[in-house]
C-alpha cells in the first residue's frame, strides 16, 4: 500500500508529461473526464464513509440485542418473551441487510465509474487530436495506449486507497472511543 502511494505521483507526472509531449492540448482536454472522475470519487468516498459508519452502528446494535438475549435467556423463557426478542433480532438483521445492500449498490456504481473513465480518456484524447487536424499513426497510438494504461493504474489505485483510508480512520475513531471509556 505504501509503495503504491510512493509510485503514484511519479507515475502520474511521468505519464502526463509523455502524453502531453505526444498530443499537446488534446491531452489536456482529455483530462477533463479524469478530473470529473476524481470529483465523483471524492463525493462517493464521503458517502461510503457515512454508509460505513451506519453499517457499523447497525452491527453494534444487533450485537447488543443478541448479547442481551444471551445474558437473559432464562428470564426470556420463563416469561415467554422469546417471540418479541426474536422479532427484535430480525428487525436488527433487516436493518443491517438493507444497509449492506445500499453499500453494495454504491460500490457497484463506483466500480462502474472507475472502469468506464480510463477507457473514455484515450477516446477523448484521440478524438480531439484528430479533430484538431493531427494524424494518428500506429506507433503513436500504441505508445500512447501504453501510457494511458499507466495513467489508468493511477486512476484505479487512488480511489481504492482513499476508500481504505477512510475505513481505517473510522476504525481508529472507534478504537479511540473504546479506549477512552471509563471501563477500560
Mean pLDDT of the chain: 83
105: domain CATH number is 1.20.1560.10
| Predicted local distance difference test score (pLDDT) of residue 184 | 62
Q: Is 125 part of a structural domain of the chain?
A: yes
What's the whole-model pTM score? Answer: 0.64
Residue 146: all three cell numbers together:
501504453
Per-residue pLDDT of 98-141, as tens digits, reads 888 988 998 888 888 888 888 888 999 999 999 998 888 898 88
| Predicted local distance difference test score (pLDDT) of residue 116 | 86
Reference 127, options 35, 36, 23; nearest CA is 23
Give the chain's domain count.
1
Q: What is the DSSP letter of 81?
A: -
Judged by DSSP in three states, 116 sits in helix
Task: Report, in angstroms and rounded to the nearest whole number, the Rg of the chain calculated over CA atoms.
Answer: 25
Reference 170, options 15, 61, 86, 56; nearest CA is 56
Domain extent, residue 38, equals 2-44+56-179
Q: Is 154 part of a structural domain of the chain?
A: yes
| Predicted local distance difference test score (pLDDT) of residue 131 | 92
- Confidence bin at 59 (pLDDT 50/70/90): confident
Q: Is 106 part of a structural domain of the chain?
A: yes
Per-residue pLDDT of 36-57, as tens digits, reads 887 887 888 788 888 888 888 8
Residue 156 has pLDDT above 80, yes or no: no
Lowest mean pLDDT among 90-94, 96-100, 160-164, 178-182: 160-164
Amino acid at each position: 500500500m505504501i509503495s503504491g502511494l510512493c509510485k503514484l505521483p511519479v507515475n502520474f507526472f511521468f505519464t502526463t508529461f509523455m502524453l502531453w509531449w505526444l498530443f499537446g492540448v488534446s491531452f489536456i482536454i482529455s483530462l477533463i473526464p479524469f478530473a470529473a472522475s476524481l470529483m465523483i470519487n471524492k463525493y462517493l468516498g464521503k458517502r461510503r464513509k457515512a454508509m460505513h459508519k451506519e453499517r457499523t452502528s447497525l452491527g453494534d446494535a444487533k450485537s447488543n440485542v443478541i448479547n442481551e438475549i444471551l445474558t437473559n435467556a432464562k428470564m426470556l423463557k420463563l416469561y415467554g418473551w422469546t417471540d418479541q426478542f426474536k422479532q427484535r433480532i430480525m428487525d436488527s438483521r433487516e436493518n443491517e441487510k438493507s444497509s449492506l445492500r445500499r453499500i453494495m449498490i454504491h460500490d457497484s456504481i463506483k466500480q462502474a465509474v472507475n472502469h468506464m473513465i480510463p477507457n473514455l480518456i484515450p477516446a477523448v484524447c484521440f478524438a480531439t487530436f484528430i479533430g484538431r487536424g493531427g494524424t494518428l499513426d500506429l506507433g503513436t497510438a500504441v505508445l500512447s495506449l501504453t501510457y494511458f494504461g499507466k495513467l489508468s493504474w493511477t486512476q484505479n489505485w487512488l480511489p481504492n486507497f482513499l476508500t481504505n483510508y477512510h475505513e481505517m480512520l473510522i476504525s481508529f475513531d472507534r478504537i479511540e472511543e473504546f479506549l477512552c471509556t471509563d471501563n477500560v
